[in-house]
Structure 1
């Protein structure tokens, strides 16, 4: 199923994309398999109904970090149905970028293993001909690493990392063969939810690489999440209208993080977003750890995609009411 896409001329294309993905046969089949009734009403009502349904049936995190989510006990036919649906909905396989050149390449952070793999894949894209006119941005937060993540890094020779952004910074220094940033800025606010940092490296033969840790937009409640990092980067990079942005993440997160990027970047800046997942078959990545992707994890991230599309749909409605004056002019 194609994901929603943005065009500079209007938001109707995004809405049509949300409607197509949400109303697709694989998602309808999954809902029915788990005892759900398809929500009635317009697209907003359907998204709200699916959000409520997935909270009851597919939320295995219950507010915890992803590695702490429980795995549901599914019978083999149901587990196979989940995997097939996840594949059709775009959570399983990697695909190449649509364009040969972009204004910016953005690497989204994550767990320790993901930090290593995504930075390595971004370097692979640059080496194999993807052009970048602006910068490579590597986005994370001051989320503390778990002991399991620290061990994952130590197993491949990466030490001295306390936070997600530390892991991203170490990955950049190793992958791009740089030792010190050309520019280093930030704010230590005394709490990781309020603090931020920005380090820019200038590797030989590639665009500048910025490693950015964002503050939370709701620091009293939570750490910075994907949308916070994207929005914070756009402000620092002075993202321009109609810029083409290539996002790198893991295939399982492509739908939800793509829609987050549409909401935080495409709608306000009228830029184009292309989101790709790391290709696990690349020789450069075979030495780096990759977690087992289970049916429960796929269901959890299908729920994430539903929630992201609901938030995107709400933003589009709010944007239409506010009019063009509410958008950045850069």
Structure 2
């Protein structure tokens, strides 16, 4: 899989640990990332790949973490001079965080839509519906994955501006998008568990649009409920357990271009490695007429640096999962 100028680790079904590791090494050791680290005053970490990834994780925590444990909308925005801003944007494009690339295949076992901020939920579901209308075939299901993360006031205002009915949580925003984009009014099947805390709860709603594959809206519980809400890897793993993912299944994942590298590597770790399925990750093309009226966020140099850090951390976790135990 090649996004922009630097290839991400391959997601082809049946790829061995050695080839995935080589892909991690190639992305991490690429000229755009080396140049970016040097520009921010860093010395390239020494040692094997694990040591390099650990060093880049630590470096990016000091220089590119603007969230400080907060949700993405609450991250601070750094002030950069024009030369630095241009360098960051160029590196982000080369590393695969800017330009959308269409799916490589015409048929998949499953199409997975990853949740996010409220308006991103609307865009990603709309893009999935667009792909089906444009001829992409899905043999299994369309899975729309989210959590019970409460929406912020800014997110709720964004939904109101896009004429979306009020929603309290990420999964409600996804569900509203599915009902609108797939023309369904009520789920055909519904299941879930209402825990004593949102981090323990889960829900599953399956819609059956006429003439298309079933669409499942899934909210996952957290794998570490005492510390955090469910994150991307939790939702992917929870879905795989529900759908009985099979070896060799080609899976298409839809997110935003800025998140493609980190969410692709999360999917390799949580789905491709344990289940042997294929993973292809694409970003929504905001220029499509089908997405008109669904506003795009402003993507700044700070946002791109934050998600380059996310990609480094995701690749570090993927590499650790590929290493022999003991």
**3-state DSSP class of the match of 2:7?**
coil
- Equivalents in 1 of 2:82, 2:28: separation in Å? 25
**3-state DSSP class of the match of 1:199?**
strand
Q: Does 1:296 align with 2:302?
A: yes
Equivalent residues in 2 for 1:33-182, closer than 5 Å: 33-182=39-188
Find 2:263's aligned residue among 239, 252, 257: 257
Whether the aligned pair in 1 keeps the contact of 2:117 and 2:170 (CA below 8 Å) is yes
Match of 1:235 in 2: 241
Per the TM alignment, residue 9 of structure 1 is displaced from its structure 2 partner at its CA by 4.8
Per the TM alignment, residue 160 of structure 1 is displaced from its structure 2 partner at its CA by 3.1
The normalised TM-score by structure 1 is: 0.96
Q: Deviations over 1:178-200 (max 9, x none)?
A: 00000000000121100000000
Q: Does 1:321 align with 2:325?
A: yes
Whether the aligned pair in 1 keeps the contact of 2:159 and 2:166 (CA below 8 Å) is no
Unaligned runs of 5+ in 2: 1-5
Find 1:309's aligned residue among 296, 308, 315: 315
Per the TM alignment, residue 247 of structure 1 is displaced from its structure 2 partner at its CA by 0.1
Unaligned runs of 5+ in 1: 323-330
**3-state DSSP class of the match of 2:192?**
strand
Displacement over 4 Å in runs of 4+: none
Question: What's the RMSD between the two structures over aligned residues?
Answer: 0.9
Whether the aligned pair in 1 keeps the contact of 2:10 and 2:23 (CA below 8 Å) is yes
Q: Deviations over 1:95-141 (max 9, x none)?
A: 01111111000000000010000000000111111111000000000
- Equivalents in 1 of 2:145, 2:193: separation in Å? 16
Q: Deviations over 1:200-222 (max 9, x none)?
A: 00001110000000000000000
Per the TM alignment, residue 13 of structure 1 is displaced from its structure 2 partner at its CA by 1.1
**3-state DSSP class of the match of 1:299?**
helix
Q: Does 1:4 align with 2:12?
A: no
The normalised TM-score by structure 2 is: 0.97
- Equivalents in 1 of 2:200, 2:27: separation in Å? 36
Match of 2:279 in 1: 273
**3-state DSSP class of the match of 1:107?**
strand
Per the TM alignment, residue 27 of structure 1 is displaced from its structure 2 partner at its CA by 0.1
Q: How many residues align?
A: 320
- Equivalents in 1 of 2:73, 2:140: separation in Å? 34
